[in-house]
Structures are given as structure tokens and as C-alpha cells.
A and B are shown apart, each in its own frame.
Chain A
Amino acid sequence: MELDVSYRLRVNPIACTGHGMCAELLPEVIELDPWGYPILLSPAVPASVLDHAKRAVDACPTLALMIEEVTGPPLLR
């Protein structure tokens, strides 16, 4: 039986210092609030932008953005 693997994004708010690269690289999922900090529009990452999401995670200068694998049915928003 094949399990659905989906991915979920999480922000460590203490590590985040509001550089804003994640919102530039993944505008489909991440928006910036008035103070420059990321808002995750949905915790689940749509499969179509998975590569961009991984790039955004890599680009974060403080490693505040994290991506996790979630096995099971994909999260519904």
C-alpha cells in the first residue's frame, strides 16, 4: 500500500529575524506581515511548488523555515 507523502512548512519564530527571502521565493504560500515576518498562508505545501519550498528553506539565513515530511493523507486547509 502506498502512503501519501506530503510536506509541511513551519517557522521558528525565535530564529526568524525577518529577512524575507522565503516570501520572495515562495509567494504562493508565504506572505510578509507589516513588520517583515512570514505568514504561512497554508501549512501544507502544494506539490507543484515543492522545489521552490525546498529552495526557500535552504535560502533562509537563520534556518528559521523548516520543511517536514508528513506521511498519511495530505493536510486539508
Chain B
Amino acid sequence: MTSIALSAYRAPELRLPRLLAGVSYYHPAGLAEHEELYGPLPLPAETPAQDRAWRQRQRLIEIVERSGLTGRGGAGFPTGRKMRSVAALAGDARKGRAVVVANGAEGEPASCKDRLLLTRVPHLVLDGITLAAGAVGADEAHLVVHGQETDLMAGLEDAIADREALGVDPVPIQVTGIPARYVSSEQSSIVHYLGGGPAKPTFSPPRPHERGVKGRPTLVNNVETLAHLALIARYGDSWFRGIGPPSEPGSALVTVGGAVARPGVYEVEMGTTLGEVVMTAGGPSERPQALLAGGYFGAWLPADLAWQVPMTHADLRAVGGAMGAGMVIALPITACALAETARVVSYLAEETAAQCGPCMFGLPALADAVIDLAYEGGWGRAIKAIATLVPLIEKRGACRHPDGATQLVRSALTAFAADARWHDRHGPCYGVSRAPLLPVPGDEEREWSWT
């Protein structure tokens, strides 16, 4: 991809790409290239005057609030509001200065958008961190990725070193590796780990924005959110609102996978229908029966229903789905959704933090029940077993891990109710012996047989 001149980039007719404008197939965009593409970092000048500094911080927070940017890590919480609460609490001398944490530890196996940003346009994310740190008055900034991604971390360290050489970031950004467990990339796990504890979720309240790393107000944002922030600070809130619906404006990165012609990460306008998203990825490679939107904590939607649904948090929730961290996976008619769900729930059951009883014991029982239904035939009892287990598990843990698994199972039994009844009576269908579709780590060691 060639670089786009700054003036052309600001042109209103050019809607997309925004974040991915600087992405090259071959190498990450260096600092000079980054500044040429997007413009210099609009950091307010350092001023000793306390009130002027405070007003500058408030200005950026206001712009973010007006832009309507919501978190791109899955929850979709208004970013401006989060920044405002952290800034307000950090102003209180007793609570300590704020901490900014950029969550680039993409726990979802099916998602690669954060990795794309961090490997190809790292300076966008780093700009976002610096701007956020300035806005909430933080004196500590962390960029968190999975610890075993040594290449990724090395690349990020290089990018930060380039910036340090020019003194770009007032607050030094530390790259931290966290354990590669599924629950470790959850917000409270990261905060717990950065404070010196294990990378396991903690009981809230208090939430990180009130008491986070070492008890200080902590702003935790997904790296994509911070990348958007970096552009909003440059081009303003009306620019950001230029695309997408008014309720959830802007663009978003989507990882499209499954039975599509060109799986990968795409930048789309918020509110694009799921069908259009699949077409952007080259269209389905086999006839789809359903779409999984939102990843492993998302929901299955039958293809004919899902095709017209706009990709926003509100619209997806309205049909019983979830946006999650922007993933759309197309399930072909030759595959078995129940088998795919069984594999995912088994993985999630192995990935509990083993802190809360209902999740620690309930998820393995649920996984067994779904495996029963998909692979062995439930003898008419599996659906009942699942229906009994789901209310015993959801909302009874300290984090959303059990809720995500139960949402996936619920949606599978709703979207594939007829299939489930068939499985319950007759046993596995031909789809279970198809090659697995959803990526599940460690799958090669598990045996997924028909009988």
C-alpha cells in the first residue's frame, strides 16, 4: 500500500481506510513515515501553569466525549466517559496519579486486529497512549501484550526507542508481557498483574478506573481504541463522526474468518451490515449457514438473520448477539455448529482462573454436556442437562469468563434449535467430522472423533 499524502487523507470523500491507511504488507511504519502519513502528534505544549494544563487535558477529554468513541476491546464503553472518571479521581491527591494501560494482549484466538495494529502501525497506538496519559494526568504508561510474543515485544521496544530518541513521549511507555492464558487479557487481570499479583481477575468493585494498578485510578483501553484516539486528537470529533451511525460512530477493525474467500482484518464503518462485512472479505467460500459475531464470548446468528444486522453493539444485542472485539466468522453448511461450540467451550473450561466455584466446576460440566450433544448424541437428555447448567453458571463468577461461555452455548441452542434436537435424538451429524473451523489453541492434542 502506498502512503497517502496528508492533504488527500484529510479529504472528506476519503472515508476509509483510517487506521489502516499506513499499513504496509512488508514492514511496520516507522516514526518518520507515520508522521508524514498522519501528521505530527498533537500533544499540548508542556506548561507549568496548573490551570492551563488542566484545561488542555479537559479539552482533549471533551473532544473524545463529543466524538462518541466507544471501546473497541469488546465492552463498547464510551471512552470519553471513562477518561473523564479516571481524570476526576486522579485529581484527588490521596488516590495518586493515574496510570494508563493499553491492552494489546489479544486473548481471543480468532482475533488478529490488535496484532495488526501493533506490528504495522505501532506509532498510532503509542500516540494514543501518550495522548491518553496527558489527558488523565498519568505518570505511568504500560503497553501489555502476551509474554511469549518476543518478536512483537521487540518490535514495540524499537518503536518506543525511536520515539525516546526524539523525546516524543513525556511519559515513558513500558512494554509488559503477561501470561498467555485466556483470562489474563481481561482488564482486572492485567491490572492485578501490573500491581505485582497473578494475572487473574479480581473481584470488583472497585473497578480499575477507581482503584487499579497499585491502588491508583487506572485507564485501561484496547489498543484499537487508543489508535482511534490518536486520529481524533488530530482531526477532531466531527471528522470521526463523519462515518458510521450517530449512536456508534467511526470505523472499526474486524477480523473476518471461517468460510470466506479472503479471511483477514478489515476496517469497516460501524453499522456496516454483517453481510457486507463478509462480502468485504471476498464473500463466503461455501454457502454459509450461520455467522459467529463477537468471538468466543459472542453469539451464533443464523445467516439469513445475521446478513442484514448492522454491526453495532446495540443492533447485535437486540438480536441476541454481541459485537465483542469485532470478529465475524462464517460457518458453512457442511460444518456442525454444535461441534464447533463444543470445542470452544472445552477450551474455555480449561482456561478458567480456578478462582470461583461455579465457573471452575460448571464450565467443565457444561463442556461435557455440549460434547455429549454434538459428538455422542444426548439420548434425549443433553439439551435438558445444558439448560439446567447454564443458569447455574452465568453471572456467578467474578469476571465475564463464565458468562461468555454460557452466552455462546445459549446462542447455539437458539440458532440451531432444530439441529440440537436432531443431535439429541440421533447422535452426531456428518458435520462433526469436517475439519475444525474455529481456531482453538492446543487442538492438535485433543481427540475429536465421531464416536
CB pair B357–A36 under 8 Å, yes or no, is yes
Number of interface residues of A (CB under 8 A): 13
> CA separation between A17 and B397, bound complex, in Å?
12
Chain A contacts of B203 at CB under 8 A?
12-15
Interface residues of A, dominant DSSP: loop
CB pair A13–B392 under 8 Å, yes or no, is no
Let me know if B234 is at the binding interface, CB within 8 A: no
Contact residue among B201, B202, B362 (Cβ-Cβ distance under 8 Å from A35): B362
| Given contacts A13-B396, A13-B398, A39-B396, A33 and B202 within 8 Å (CB-CB) | no
A67 to chain B, nearest CB (A): 15
> CA separation between A16 and B361, bound complex, in Å?
13
B201 to chain A, nearest CB (A): 8
Chain B contacts of A61 at CB under 8 A?
none
> CA separation between A35 and B356, bound complex, in Å?
11
B158 to chain A, nearest CB (A): 39
A55 to chain B, nearest CB (A): 22
Let me know if B355 is at the binding interface, CB within 8 A: yes
Contact residue among B202, B361, B362, B392 (Cβ-Cβ distance under 8 Å from A14): B202
> CA separation between A39 and B393, bound complex, in Å?
10
> CA separation between A33 and B402, bound complex, in Å?
15
CB pair A12–B358 under 8 Å, yes or no, is no
> CA separation between A59 and B416, bound complex, in Å?
46
Interface residues of B, dominant DSSP: loop
- Digit string of B284-298 for contact with A (CB within 8 Å is 1, else 0)? 000000000000000
CB pair B358–A33 under 8 Å, yes or no, is yes
Let me know if A72 is at the binding interface, CB within 8 A: no
Let me know if A18 is at the binding interface, CB within 8 A: yes
> CA separation between A16 and B357, bound complex, in Å?
8
Chain B contacts of A12 at CB under 8 A?
203, 398
Let me know if A73 is at the binding interface, CB within 8 A: no
Chain B contacts of A7 at CB under 8 A?
none
Chain B contacts of A34 at CB under 8 A?
361, 392
CB pair A13–B361 under 8 Å, yes or no, is no
CB pair A13–B362 under 8 Å, yes or no, is no
Give residues 1-49 of A contacting B (CB, 8 Å). Answer: 12-18, 33-37, 39
CB pair A14–B396 under 8 Å, yes or no, is no
Q: Identify the interface centre among B202, B357, B361, B392: most chain A CB within 10 Å of its CB.
A: B357
Contact residue among B201, B202, B396 (Cβ-Cβ distance under 8 Å from A37): B396
Give residues 331-385 of B contacting A (CB, 8 Å). Answer: 355-359, 361-362
Chain B contacts of A14 at CB under 8 A?
201-203, 355-356, 398
Closest to A37 in B: B357
Chain A contacts of B398 at CB under 8 A?
12-14
> CA separation between A15 and B357, bound complex, in Å?
10
> CA separation between A13 and B203, bound complex, in Å?
8
CB pair A13–B358 under 8 Å, yes or no, is yes
Chain B contacts of A16 at CB under 8 A?
356-357
> CA separation between A36 and B362, bound complex, in Å?
11
B141 to chain A, nearest CB (A): 28
B25 to chain A, nearest CB (A): 45
> CA separation between A37 and B362, bound complex, in Å?
11
B230 to chain A, nearest CB (A): 36
Give residues 395-447 of B contacting A (CB, 8 Å). Answer: 396-398
Chain A contacts of B397 at CB under 8 A?
13
Chain B contacts of A17 at CB under 8 A?
357
> CA separation between A18 and B397, bound complex, in Å?
13
| Given contacts A13-B397, A13-B398, A35 and B355 within 8 Å (CB-CB) | no
Closest to B356 in A: A13
**The 9 nearest A-B residue pairs measured at CB:** A13-B356, A37-B357, A35-B361, A14-B355, A14-B398, A13-B398, A12-B203, A14-B203, A33-B392
Known: A13-B359, A33-B396. 20 other contacts (CB 8 A): A12-B398, A13-B203, A13-B355, A13-B357, A13-B358, A14-B202, A14-B355, A14-B398, A15-B203, A16-B356, A17-B357, A18-B357, A33-B357, A34-B361, A34-B392, A35-B357, A35-B361, A35-B362, A37-B396, A39-B392
5 chain-A/chain-B pairs, Cβ below 8 angstroms: A13-B356, A13-B397, A35-B357, A37-B358, A39-B396
